[in-house]
């Protein structure tokens, strides 16, 4: 093959490569939006109580009473509101009650370019919780509130995604061993208002307000889960009952956005592959 012919082929593939790289790449868009909301979710167990006529274990379970489904995923866009029915559950470990509320979740993700949003909102009214009412001693924990709510929002476009959470607590009161805990009506994210230790309080009991758990890198993904109230019991012993473990989550909302990473155009890919093949042949 002549040097002139080699030069012609080299120029051809170089032009192909340049043309491919100059071709517009696929636009980055938000490809998925997901949001959800939960009113109350309770799951607590305790070690067996060795007494005649008492079962092998104690538990109190109050799953979210929202009519399913309580989440949505786009595309296509969605906008759903679900009413929370009255809830009243009790067992030997305690009781959980609420009169009404609602969950709402929506997203405008449709596959097109531009800023998009996914939002989840939970709101529940007249909430009451009582844990372990033991004879002769105050409740391990009692909680009451006029309203408990949270909202999680994820928004933006590729490379500029962000998530925020908010919590609304109206007339919230929490007592542990009969003593009222000092509460901020507008708690900062991840505010721990009670954390028992081996030397103070109820060991293994924690209460967190406006808990916010975030995920994503802000470029191709962003997400957040907001728990208005999260009560954690980790092997708590109280009133003659041991091994009390589980979680109480009230007013949970979540949101998530995913965006596609821009891909090199098809023409650019073909040009690069052909050029690599050509120059590889030249070296052999």
Give yes or no: residues 77 and 156 share one domain: yes
Q: Please spell the DSSP secondary structure of the chain, one letter per residue.
A: --HHHHHHHHHHHHHHHHHHHHSPPPPP-EEEEEEEEEEEEEEEEE----STT--S-EEEEE---BPSP-EEEESSPEEEEEEEPPEEEEETTEEEEE-EEEEEEEE---S-SS-EEEEEEEEEEEEEEEE---TTS--SEEEEEEEEEEEEEEEEETTEEEEEEEEEEES-EEEETTEEPP--SSPPTTEEEEE--SSSSSTTEEEEEEEEEEE--SSSEEEEEEEEEEEEEEEEEETTEEEEEEEEEEEEEEEEEEEPPP---HHHHHHHHHHHHHHHHHH-
Give yes or no: residues 254 and 268 share one domain: no
Q: Which domain holds residue 17?
A: 1-25+264-284
Give yes or no: residues 121 and 204 share one domain: yes
The percentage of the chain sitting over the pLDDT mark of 70, rounded to a whole number, equals 74
Give yes or no: residues 3 and 75 share one domain: no
Give yes or no: residues 192 and 116 share one domain: yes
- Number of domains making up the chain: 2
Give yes or no: residues 8 and 115 share one domain: no
> If pLDDT is split at 50, 70 and 90, which confidence band does 186 have?
confident
Give yes or no: residues 154 and 64 share one domain: yes
Give yes or no: residues 257 and 271 share one domain: no
Give yes or no: residues 277 and 187 share one domain: no
pLDDT for 256 beyond 70 = yes
Give yes or no: residues 185 and 98 share one domain: yes
pLDDT digits (tens, 9 = 90+) for 46-104: 886 555 444 434 566 655 555 556 789 999 999 999 888 788 888 888 888 999 889 99
Q: Is the pTM of this model over 0.85?
A: no
Give yes or no: residues 246 and 271 share one domain: no
């Amino acid at each position: 093959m002549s040097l002139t012919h080699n030069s012609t082929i080299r120029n051809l593939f170089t032009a192909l490569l340049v043309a491919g790289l100059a071709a517009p790449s696929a636009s980055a868009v938000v490809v998925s939006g997901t949001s959800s909301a939960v009113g109350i979710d309770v799951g607590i167990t305790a070690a067996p109580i060795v007494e005649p006529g008492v079962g092998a274990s104690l538990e109190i379970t109050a799953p979210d009473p929202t009519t399913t489904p309580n989440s949505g995923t786009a595309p296509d866009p969605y906008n759903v509101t679900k009413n929370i029915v009255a809830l009243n559950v009790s067992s030997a470990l305690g009781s959980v009650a609420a009169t009404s509320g609602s969950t709402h979740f929506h997203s405008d993700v449709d596959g097109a370019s531009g800023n998009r949003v996914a939002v989840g909102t939970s709101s529940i009214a007249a909430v009451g919780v009582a844990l372990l009412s033991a004879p002769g001693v105050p409740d391990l924990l009692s909680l009451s509130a006029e309203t408990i709510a949270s909202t999680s929002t994820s928004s933006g476009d590729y490379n500029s995604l962000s998530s925020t959470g908010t919590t609304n607590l109206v007339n919230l009161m929490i007592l542990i061993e009969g003593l009222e805990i000092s509460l901020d009506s507008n708690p900062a994210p991840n505010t721990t208002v009670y954390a028992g230790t081996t030397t103070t309080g109820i060991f293994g009991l924690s209460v967190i307000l406006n808990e916010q758990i975030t995920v994503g890198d802000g470029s191709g993904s962003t997400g957040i889960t907001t728990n208005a109230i999260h009560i954690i019991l980790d092997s708590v012993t109280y009133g003659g009952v041991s091994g009390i473990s589980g979680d109480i989550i009230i007013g949970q909302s979540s949101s998530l956005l995913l965006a596609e990473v821009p891909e090199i155009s098809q023409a650019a890919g073909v040009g690069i592959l052909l050029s690599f093949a050509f120059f590889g042949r030249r070296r052999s």
